[in-house]
Structure 1
């Protein structure tokens, strides 16, 4: 095994973030697991007391988030996983829903970057987890997909601006992953994968310094191809998806 790394993960109390924390710890790396649920963090610490340290973190609190993360130096890999999904009912349109989703997925993620960036150094990796939902105009996903599209653009822009500092910025775009969040969905989720599959895909991509980590491969390829079609074709395809759901 390579030398142990210091890995900081947000959203580490459930889903993909939790599995990443467990897998990195099992490999002997030192993990800072961040999340809002103190009990869940304590359970992670108990499973790997020598390798996992919990950090209570609420990304909607700007001052506390920046202050808490500013304390961590010598971090080799930062994986910003934490996110929120709410679906829009256009018959009861709510701008507040957009505010909630964007405050966590975009602004909250950038609060983490603000807190951590001053301590990142050449060779550090900043990994931002988005979603393949950014690729097509899916029904009811205006807030969620819009936030992930914004996050992907920001990630690409950071790739440009941080290259001269030697900081690698990697973008992750999962398809449907079996997590507590997706369990609330009431529609078909094609090619859904497990959190173990997601963690393996992300960790392999990080190890290879892939700037675009999209999985599962076939689903990601299909959506990327569809996103390059004329807009009228994309809309027609998305309407077909809506009718089938």
Structure 2
């Protein structure tokens, strides 16, 4: 089987790192991207190429993109999660930071890497099951991930003529350095390795949409069609 050229953002930790290990073991040419040069150095021997850049700085993305020739799969995985702890005294700076990191940066990544995705290739967006219904404190995170959903679903239509598939992923709670900061219960928590296997299966099958674990995501989908007063009573605290 011919090795594929796969670029993964956020490849130094969490889901991105587990995806990196999965595709490296398969013998694919993995381009690992992240901000932490030390961590990139640690995995460089297993990578086809590593790229150190800040996704919110277009010039850094552009500079690295010049070293990438062609891609079979572009995995847009990196992101951040910060919560609005006091809605009445809304933190506009925090909101802007999350939107820029999780959503606006994707525009720059697409500008510089999408032209390198060959016909018959694939673009993968790692979003979140948090977009299935609203949650407290998630104004910034949820808005950014909902934007990713629309971006992916719209882009899919425009890339049909290019014969490039778009896959949208909705993970549930995944144990990563990011979620380790959460101070609330995370039902049906999966490891990043389990998440990576689910994502890889969806990519292999060229699915338009994948969500997991289904015990959680199907429950959220069910709650979302219930009358508002019912699910609000169940999730609102304080």
TM class, shorter-length: over 0.9
Which residue matches 2:56? 60
What residue ranges of structure 1 are gaps of 5+ in the alignment? Answer: none
The SS at the match of 1:109 is helix
> What per-residue deviation string (whole Å, max 9, x for no partner) do you get for residues 174-196 of structure 1?
00000000000000001110011
- Give a deviation string over 1:137-183, Cα, whole Å, max 9, x none: 10100100111011101100001010111000110110000000000
Match of 2:9 in 1: 10
Find 1:181's aligned residue among 167, 178, 182. 178
**Is the Cα–Cα contact under 8 Å of residues 69 and 112 in structure 1 kept in the other structure?**
no
- Compute the TM-score of the two structures, normalised by the length of structure 2: 0.95
Say if 2:133 is the partner of 1:136.
yes
SS in 2 for 1:124: strand
Preserved contact between residue 44 and residue 52 of structure 1 (Cα < 8 Å)? no
* Residue 72 of structure 1, aligned match among 39, 44, 68: 68
**In structure 2, distance between residues paired with 1:154 and 1:187:** 29
The CA distance in 1 between the partners of 2:152 and 2:67, in whole Å, is 23
- Whether contact under 8 Å (1:85, 1:144) holds in the other structure is yes
The answer as to whether partners of 1:176 and 1:191 remain within 8 angstroms in 2 is yes
1:111 aligns to what? Answer: 108
**Aligned positions, number:** 237
Q: What is the TM-score with the length of structure 1 in the denominator?
A: 0.92
| Secondary structure in structure 1 of the residue aligned to 2:174 | coil
Structure 1 residue 91, shift from structure 2 partner: 4.0
**Can you list the C-alpha shifts for 1:66-112, whole angstroms capped at 9, x where unaligned?**
33225422211110110010000214311111100000100112211
Asked whether the equivalents of residues 34 and 54 of structure 1 are also in contact (C-alpha less than 8 Å), the reply is: yes
- RMSD (Å), alpha carbons: 1.5
